[in-house]
Structure 1
Amino acid sequence: MIRNRSALADSPAHEVALDCLEAAVDAAAPAVATKSAIERGSETLTIGETAYDLDNYSDIVIVGGGKATGGVTRALESILGDALSGGHVVVKQTVDTETVRSSVGDHPLPSDRNVEATADMLETVDEADEDTLVLFVLTGGASALLSAPAGELTLKDLQTTTDRLLSGGVPIEEINAVRKHLSDLKGGQIARRAAPATVAGLLISDVVGNDLSTIGSGPSAPDETTYEDALGVFERHDLTPPPAVRAHLEAGRDGRISETPFPDDSAFDRVTNHLIGDNATALDAAAAVAEEAGYEPLVLTSRLRGEAREVAKSLVAIAEEATATGTPVKPPAVLLAGGETTVTVTGDGGQGGPNQEFVLSGALDHDGDAVIAAIDTDGEDGSSDVAGAIADGTVVDDRERARDALLANDAGSYLSEIEATVETGPTGTNVNDVAVIVVRDGNE
């Protein structure tokens, strides 16, 4: 899965780090997650603890979007076979589906083809009736891929808003609070549009904490945020929304536009959401690989967040403590963490993303010989075309230039130059970031 693995495997510790990364991504593969969560009987589809009697439905359709949605859809097609009526999903990479239509969109910024594909998908949702079972597949990347500008808003308004929020280092929960109130499908509005159909949401989480209302901006989940909350995001982060966006949000705040549906809305009477994969799934798989290799694994958290370069310092400090005192784990050990860190871009920025900033910052700050690796499980770190990076202190040969690159948000350029970036290509899944720190025992 790691295309340039042979160039990165400099030591047994590097090998273990790379093994952990690959295991994490493999465990989050959408087909694996789907088939482990769903069982098909002769006339029953069981998702988690909920059984759906297929005799009750004249139509079963699949709709949704996201980077891993194609894999989930293929798995559902194999499970349902002829019982499936059709559907439409919006994905980032071309997917070979049989019954369900798929359209390729753009990420991380929405595009014209995203809007067109989403409008087509919504026709399927709008046609659903009380005899329809809607399987709504939602995975990381859906917030951009499923684009339906609300009211008089334009695609350009969405693009500009998304770009400002991402560049401003705004946490994903707050970004999605804004997105919900600029959309005709997010924030529970898929549920509203599908009613009175039965909706089964199948979600692979790319959100720290797995808040169902935040994953993909929560199209099938109740929304407790408001237009006033969305306006507050811009105020807290000292960002200016486009004029049309401000006008739309203020109209909602003033009651001139209907709010997104709250938890007590009748739209959710026949909606059940099922989480079928998340970051913890990936970390558990990485821990198993580390243990098999003779290292003591310690999963620190699946809720990692904050500025990437600062978060890295805290984690390498734990690695240093392990080396010095055997606390909280005795070397040889592997520290594991997952979540979603952020990068606040200053100036023009450069190449890279939060995982590359995490690794370079960690390598610069660490006073030991631990191997530090981090990737985005979708294979694309930020807006770069690499998944992340792997390094220890020995590869950072020009520390002054490395620090300058980090300060300029150009970690990717430096790490690429020293051949420390991890290349996977699109993985077809997305469960946030995975960080691996291999703490050696001094015998390597």
Structure 2
Amino acid sequence: MTAHLREHARAILHAAIAAADARAAVVRALSLDGDRLTVAGAEEVDLAAIGRVRVIGAGKAAAAMASGALEVLGEWIAEGTITTKDGHGADLPRMDVWEAAHPVPDARGMAGAAEALRLARGAGPRDLVLCLLSGGASALWPAPVPGVTLADLRGVTDALLRSGATIHEINTVRKHLSRIGGGWLAAAAAPARVVTLAVSDVVGGALEVIASGPTVPDSTTYEDALEVLESRGVAVPPAVRAHLQAGDAGERVETPKEFDTVFARASAHVVAGNRDALQGAAREAERLGYRVRIVADDVEGEARSVGEQVALLAMNVRAEASDAPIALLLGGETTVTVQGPGRGGRNQELALALAVELEGVGEVLAASLGTDGTDGPTDAAGAFADGGTVTRGHAAGLDARDALRRNDAHPFLHAAGDLIVTGPTGTNVNDVILVLVDAPGASAAA
């Protein structure tokens, strides 16, 4: 692989992240003219008639979002509480910032969720609750229902993650074990006015899935949650199954639905998503001289299968790159059904599967990146893959196919020199997959 492809890939991926910056997205969504606040160009709030503005938020990008809210609203904000992933926090005036574990919840997240519920319940009918949500909030705000413990939540979360369940499926279960997800935060804040801004980390941007939809109606049921466990073959703690079965039998209250009065003064807006990242990447790739195709923004499925499909796409496009280099962009979120004891994440597994298919192929570079800067329980955001990745790993004594079988992409890609490490990015809009195909004998413009 020529060096300029990797240099260009880094610039394109950086542009993708910058285009979906959560702080900037909130600043764009909130417009203040005197005491008139316009939200997402769709609704107005007369702050002169508001008693207090409280900010409540959770997710990997929540601190960045809160920083944007403070930039616009300043002293209008009386207090707030934000829960985010370890390392993603910030020093925010008049706000408590909790850092907690992700993706498997811990006691710090429980404390953050309890504080969020306390502030919501303390809001009066003249108050405005500004709720800031981004991916990761479901795990960062564990608020188990009576009879279910944090250990139970940890167990079911880990089992669902390992099963390859989609985020929609995982959150269907989590909402029915929570006192904050599935519309319950809106219920706690009623009758206050609730305005939610969300940075989407789910394919399609469904508000009831983002962060488990704490301020919007929930269309799923206890029956749906039980069906997820059945279809994925997930063994869960007895208390979890007992609660879900009791709910299905009508012995537990369902999550608030579409016409529930708790949503009478609640609104929600998606302010950034995967498409923003893809479009930012496309602009940078065009600037660098590539012919750009945004192939899809709804990629789902097993990471290694998607990697194989992207490799096939790259090989097909390679034949077309006769006069100018080509950049392919895809977005979405894959899953991994964990079958081995290895270390990695969905983007690293996808990249390694790509590398296996691209072994020995020249003039092609691919990358898969988690826009939040983290991929699985590792220090990497994702990885590159090219025709030499497998060879470089083999030179270090590692076998790519064996690493895939054991879900152990991280050590292999580290040895190959292909990991991408960004640190926390201030956003979370799913993943970006990039393929650069160079024109034979030509170099893309610098």
Provide TM-score, normalisation by structure 2. Answer: 0.94
**Aligned with 1:332 (options 325, 331, 347):** 325
- Equivalent residues in 2 for 1:142-157 (5 A)? 142-157=137-152
Report percent identity of matched pairs. 41
Question: Does the residue aligned with 2:26 lie in a helix, a strand or coil?
Answer: helix
Instruction: Give 1:26's aligned residue.
Output: 18
The alpha carbon displacement at 1:395 in A equals 2.8
Mapping of residues 305-384 of structure 1, within 5 Å: 305-325=300-320, 331-348=324-341, 350-366=342-358, 368-369=361-362, 370-384=364-378
What is the CA-CA distance between 1:120 and the residue it aligns to? 1.5
Contact 2:340 2:405 (C-alpha < 8 Å) held by counterparts? no
Mapped to 1, the partners of 2:61 and 2:356 lie a distance apart of 34
Question: 1:347: how far off?
Answer: 3.1
Q: After superposition, give the CA deviation of every residue in 1:163-188 in whole Å (9 maximum; x if it has no partner).
A: 00001111110000000000001001
| Counterpart in the other structure of 2:429 | 431
CA contact (8 A) 2:293 2:328 kept: yes
Match of 1:386 among 380, 388, 391: 380
Residues 27 and 71 in structure 2, CA contact (< 8 A), matched pair in contact too:
no
Runs of 5+ consecutive residues of structure 1 not aligned to the other structure: 1-8
Specify the alignment match of 1:75 in structure 2: 68
Classify the secondary structure of the residue corresponding to 2:97. strand
Alignment pair present for 1:17 and 2:17 = no
* Alpha-carbon distance in 2 for matches of 1:75, 1:322: 41
Residue 253 of structure 2 is aligned to residue 261 of structure 1: no
Q: Is the 8 A contact 2:344 2:408 kept in 1?
A: yes
Distance (whole Å) between structure 1 residues aligned to residue 326 and residue 45 of structure 2: 45
Match for residue 411 of structure 1? 409
Deviation, 1:325, is 4.2
How far apart in 1 are the matches of 2:285 and 2:426? 24
1:188-199 → structure 2 map (5 Å cutoff): 188-199=183-194
Q: Matched residue pairs, number?
A: 433
Superposed, which structure 2 residues align to 1:35-46 within 5 Å?
35-46=27-38
Query: Are residues 330 and 203 of structure 1, via their aligned partners in 2, closer, same or farther at CA, if it must alter by over 3 Å?
Result: farther
1:205 equivalent in alignment to 2:197:
no
Q: Secondary structure at the match of 1:358?
A: helix
**2: distance between equivalents of 1:179 and 1:10?**
46
Shift of 1:94: 2.9
Query: Residues 383 and 419 of structure 2 are in contact (CA less than 8 Å); yes or no, is this contact kept in structure 1?
Result: yes
The one-character-per-residue Cα deviations of 1:380-435 (angstroms, maximum 9, x if unpaired) are 11121111111211232166811111111111111101111011112222111111
1:331 to partner: Cα distance: 4.4
Deviations 1:131-160 (A, max 9, x none): 011000111110111110012110000000
Is this contact kept in 2: 1:296–1:330, CA < 8 A?
Answer: no
CA contact (8 A) 1:373 1:436 kept: yes
Point out where structure 2 has 5 or more consecutive residues left out of the alignment. Answer: none
Query: What's the secondary structure of 1:436's corresponding residue?
Result: strand
Tell me, what secondary structure is at the counterpart of 2:12?
helix
Whole-angstrom CA distance in 1 between matches of 2:181 and 2:200: 16
1:229-266 deviations in Å (ceiling 9; x for gaps): 00111100111111000000011001111000111111
Separation in 2, partners of 1:347, 1:107? 21
Runs of 4+ in 1 over 6 A off after TM superposition: none
Distance 2:99 2:91 in 1: 11
Are positions 1:242 and 2:242 aligned together? no
Which residue of 44, 51, 58 maps to 2:51?
Answer: 58
| Structure-2 separation of matches of 1:213 and 1:207 | 10
Supply the distance in 2 between the matched residues of 1:127 and 1:17 (Cα, whole angstroms).
48
Q: Matches of 1:315 and 1:56 in 2, distance apart?
A: 54
